[in-house]
Amino acid sequence: MDRPFEPVHTVTDYYDGPRLGAADFDGVPHVYRSLWLDAEDEWDDERFELAPLSPEAFAVVMEDWAIWRRFEDAYRAGDAQWSGDQTEWGALPEDRVRRDLLRPAVEAALTVDRARRLIARGEFRAREPVPPDHPIGILRPLEVRWTTVD
C-alpha cells in the first residue's frame, strides 16, 4: 500500500533536491536528512534519516523558516540588499538578532537522533503546479511520500 504524500515544512539544505529540513511522517513533524554515501562521495538521492521533532523543536525550526522566507521574498522582490557579508544572508536586518539567537536551537533540532531514527525513501514533489508568475529560483511548497526501509 502506498503511503500518502505529507507536508514538507522546511528545506534547510538543498542540493539537487531537499537534503535537510522538517517534514511530516505519519502526520508528525520529523527532521529529515539525506544520507551521505561515502563510497560514491555524494548524497543518496532517495534515502533519508528521519527522527521525530518535539513540539518545541518544531516551533524553533518553523520560526527560523519564517525568518528565511521573509528575507527570500524581500530579496527576490528587490527590497533587500546583500553586501556579500555572510552574517547578513538569510535574515532581514530586523530579524538578524533573533535568527542568531535561534541558530543553536535550530542546529540541535535538525540533528538526527540515531537512537530514534528510521531510514526511509523520500519521493518529493511540488504541492501544486507551477503558476506562470512563479519567480525563478523560489522553491515551491513541497510534499513527500515516505517509504520505510528495513
For the chain, domain boundaries: 6-148
Q: Tell me the per-residue pLDDT of 32-57, one tens digit each, with 9 for 90 and over.
A: 999 866 556 565 668 899 999 999 99
By three-state DSSP, how is residue 99 classified?
A: helix
Cell of residue 54, nine digits: 518535539
Rounded-to-integer distance, Cα 83 and Cα 147, Å? 43
The pTM score is 0.88
Q: Tell me the per-residue pLDDT of 131-142, one tens digit each, with 9 for 90 and over.
A: 777 666 667 889
Rounded-to-integer distance, Cα 90 and Cα 82, Å? 9
At residue 42, the pLDDT reads 64
